């Protein structure tokens, strides 16, 4: 699966004309001459084509050196983490047949090799990659829903037969569920009362993925034996169609914000 194009979290719309109080221009000073930099910094830079941009970012330090670049939008970053791990899972699945010790009578049923720890590394890795992709996809979706809501937006829901107004802080809190944000909140935000019905198949796929993510995060172990502790949860991870889920999430995001993903 092809990764999406990362976009910066924030760019200034224009380059300010920075001057001192006496009217003279602010002279650029090399960063190397400064002993300390603030973690949050505004940068004016020139691209290869000569276009000038301004962005704010956070410095990253390593081995007594300071590096600066635009912060990426976390939604894009998380989606690419998910896609990358999905691709790893597919690559690893293609290694399975060469990592088996027995095929049952030509029925395409294979017993995989066991290594140190009495497990199979490739089998383990597929589950690991899928868990990472599932968590990253839903985290990206939650971040996208929250960042799509304007600070002055008011969501109206019915509670005990009475309308209740919720501001953005309340919407992002426990008062509103993930599914409710996905459906009712976005319907009101887009002023499209039939949004959920029109896109119910896409939404259903995302909700299914959310349910698996919730099981993985909480890892409840109410079972009478060891085998039952994680059997259903691991089975959900193995069975989920990540390609279909990723396509659904990308489609949904572009429905809410056209051209958000490319």
The band of 160, judged by pLDDT with boundaries at 50, 70 and 90, is confident
* One domain, residues 100 and 42: no
The residue from 48, 72, 96 where one domain ends is 72
Both 210 and 191 in one domain: the answer is yes
- Together in a domain, 95 and 62: no
- The average confidence (pLDDT) of the chain is 85
How many domains does the chain divide into?
Answer: 2
Residue 15 has pLDDT above 70, yes or no: no
pLDDT of res. 14: 47
- Residue 261: inside a domain, yes or no? no
Q: Which of 38-42, 95-99, 214-218 shows the lowest per-residue confidence on average (mean pLDDT)?
A: 38-42
- Among candidate residues 51, 72, 93, the one where a domain is terminated: 72
Report residue 8's pLDDT band, with 50, 70 and 90 as the boundaries.
low
Q: Indicate whether 11 belongs to any domain.
A: yes
Same domain for 153 and 97? yes
Same structural domain, 65 and 108: no
Q: Are residues 65 and 183 in the same domain?
A: no
Q: Is residue 117 domain-shared with residue 165, that is, in the same domain?
A: yes
Q: What is the mean pLDDT of residues 158-169?
A: 90
Assigned domain for 134 exists: yes
Residue 217: pLDDT over 70: yes
More confident site: 221 or 256 = 256
Q: CA–CA separation, 24 vs 6, rounded Å?
A: 38
pTM of the model: 0.81
Say whether both 158 and 28 belong to one domain.
Answer: no
Q: Write down the pLDDT at residue 225.
A: 64
Residues 152 and 179 occupy one common structural domain: yes
Q: Select from 18, 39, 72 the last residue of a domain.
A: 72
What's the mean pLDDT in 19-25?
64
Whether the per-residue pLDDT at 103 is higher than 50: the answer is: yes
Pair 63, 110 in one domain: no
* Residues 45, 155 within the same domain: no
Boundaries of domain holding 20? 1-72
Task: Give yes or no for residue 10 having a pLDDT over 70.
Answer: no
Predicted confidence at residue 22, as pLDDT, reads: 66
Mean pLDDT of 7-25: 59
Q: CA geometry: angle at 58 spanning 66 and 170, to 5°? A: 160
Query: What pLDDT does 54 receive?
Result: 78
Cα–Cα nearest to 40, from 68, 9, 72: 68
Q: For position 6, what pLDDT does the model report?
A: 73
Render pLDDT for 120-132 as a digit per residue (tens, 0 to 9). 999 999 999 999 9
225 shares a domain with 186 = yes
pLDDT tier at 200, thresholds 50, 70, 90? very high
Given a cut of 90, whether residue 116 has pLDDT beyond it is no
Q: Say if 129 falls within a structural domain.
A: yes
């Amino acid at each position: 699966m092809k990764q999406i194009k990362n976009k910066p979290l924030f760019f200034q719309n224009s380059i300010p004309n920075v001057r001192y109080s006496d009217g003279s221009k602010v002279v650029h000073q090399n960063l190397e001459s400064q002993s300390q930099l603030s973690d949050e910094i505004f940068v004016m830079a020139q691209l290869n084509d000569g276009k000038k941009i301004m962005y704010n970012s956070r410095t990253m330090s390593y081995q007594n050196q300071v590096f600066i670049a635009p912060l990426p939008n976390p939604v894009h970053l998380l989606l690419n983490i998910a896609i990358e791990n999905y691709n790893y899972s597919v690559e690893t699945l293609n290694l399975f047949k060469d990592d088996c010790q027995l095929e049952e009578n030509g029925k395409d049923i294979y017993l995989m090799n066991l290594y140190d720890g009495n497990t199979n590394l490739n089998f383990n890795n597929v589950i690991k990659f899928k868990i990472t992709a599932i968590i990253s996809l839903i985290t990206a979706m939650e971040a996208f829903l929250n960042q799509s809501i304007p600070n002055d937006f008011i969501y109206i829901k019915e509670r005990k037969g009475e309308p209740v107004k919720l501001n953005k802080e309340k919407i992002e809190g426990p008062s509103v569920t993930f599914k409710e944000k996905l459906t009712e909140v976005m319907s009101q935000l887009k002023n499209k009362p039939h949004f959920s019905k029109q896109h119910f198949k896409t939404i259903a796929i995302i909700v299914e993925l959310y349910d698996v993510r919730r099981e993985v995060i909480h890892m409840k172990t109410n079972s009478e034996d060891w085998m039952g502790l994680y059997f259903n949860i691991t089975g959900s991870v193995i069975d989920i169609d990540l390609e279909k889920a990723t396509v659904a999430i990308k489609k949904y995001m572009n429905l809410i914000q056209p051209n958000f993903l490319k």
